[in-house]
Amino acid sequence: MAGLFYLDASALVKLVRDEPESLALRNFLGDADLVSCELVLTEVPRAVRRAAAKDPVLSLEALTAQAGEVLDTLGMLPVDRPLLEMAGALAEPALRALDAIHVVAAASLMPIDAFVSYDERQGATARLAGLRTLAPSERAD
């Protein structure tokens, strides 16, 4: 699918390692333009390290290389002071700090085709911010 999609770390990790939604996400995105913010330069490698530590079958070296390839395909939005201040001002009290930064970063790029995340709390806040949210899956919901 062509278009511009903002992906948070939960979506990007599905492009790095095989998870239940990985194939559906890859098929959905096709050759779309993908963007995120600089937070994922830390979030995705940390998630890869956690996964490899929990499952000795996974190769940290291979996952790290795949993470680098995925991250290199993204347009990156810088995380600057105004963005951080806007994220801090979001009204949703239960939203975690990094999730708030992703929502504000995506909203700053509007109009985009969708905010792609597998975090429901973050998705709900993104919708309140006027973003269309997607979490492609093979499951029938």
Over residues 94-128, the pLDDT tens digits come to 899 999 999 999 999 999 999 999 999 999 999 99
Average pLDDT, the chain: 93
What's this model's pTM, rounded to 2 decimal places? 0.92
Over residues 25-59, the pLDDT tens digits come to 999 999 999 999 999 999 999 999 999 999 888 88
CA R_g for the chain: 15
pLDDT for the residue 139: 59
Hey, what domains does the chain have and what are their CATH numbers? 4-134 (3.40.50.1010)
pLDDT for the residue 141: 47
Contacts 24+ apart (CB under 8 A), 120-126: 121/92, 121/94, 121/95, 121/96, 122/8, 122/10, 122/95, 122/96, 124/92, 125/90, 125/92, 125/95, 125/99, 125/100
Instruction: Over range 79-84, report the average pLDDT.
Output: 97
pLDDT tops 70 at residue 68: yes
> Are the beta carbons of 33 and 5 closer than 8 angstroms?
yes
Instruction: Grade residue 140 by pLDDT with cuts at 50, 70 and 90.
Output: very low
Q: Which helix (H) or strand (E) holds 63?
A: helix 60-72
